[in-house]
Amino acid sequence: MKRILQYGRHLLRARGRHGTHSPFVYAFVEQVMRARPQVALPQQDRFRPKEAGLLYQTLRYLSPRVICADPAVLDAVAAIATQALPDVPVQAWTSEPVPPQALLICNADDVLPDRLQHLPDHPLKVLLAGPHEHKAAESIWMRVAASASVKMSIDYWYFGLLVSDPAFKAKQHFRLR
């Protein structure tokens, strides 16, 4: 019941494509939030169908050169990524450096903020799965989004996207529905 109320509060604060004054976010809403995958996505345990569709569309929109996924979500991400971007390699994110123009996909867990502090200085996008799954995850999402290196954060309930790219001059936060 509490999660339903939290989701309702999120929807009240969230915006759609109108009211976002960022071309990147407007296009994100159009191509990710409003679009539906045209392929049948594989059934797996980690992501529900709506989440899998959003992940599929997010991968297609961001079109990273490499996807680095936390081992906890690696299999589920790889299953969806092979349909969304068949030519993009998916690798486990452990302690090795993240390559340039990679998309990092991980869960919101207690070790995440420490692991994100050791990321490279080049532009990076981090997709956080389940930023509202529980109170600790939400706290971690807020702390990581407030980090000085994050220039833009997009909260779309099932996922949170963090962008640390100097092309974005001012720090921005968007809640989308």
Reported as a single tens digit per residue, the pLDDT across 133-163 is: 888 888 888 888 888 788 888 888 789 898 8
What is the predicted pLDDT for the residue at 3?
A: 65
Q: Rounded CA gap, 164 and 2, in Å?
A: 32
175 and 10 Cβ atoms separated by less than 8 Å? yes
Tell me if 71 sits within 8 A of 46, measured CB to CB.
Answer: no
pLDDT beyond 80 at 96: no
Q: Rounded to the nearest 5 degrees, what angle is found at the Cα of 74, between the Cα atoms of 44 and 47?
A: 35
**Mean pLDDT of all residues in 7-22:** 61
Here the tokens at position 34 are 């409003």
**pLDDT at res. 171:** 84
Q: What is the pLDDT of residue 14?
A: 55
Decide if 106 contacts 112 (C-beta within 8 A).
Answer: yes
> Whole-angstrom Cα distance, residue 45 to residue 25?
29
User: Exposed, middle or buried, 121 (CB in 10 Å: 0-12/13-18/19+)?
Assistant: exposed
Which tokens is 94 given? 């452990």
The CA distance from 16 to 91, in Å, is: 33
pTM of the model: 0.85
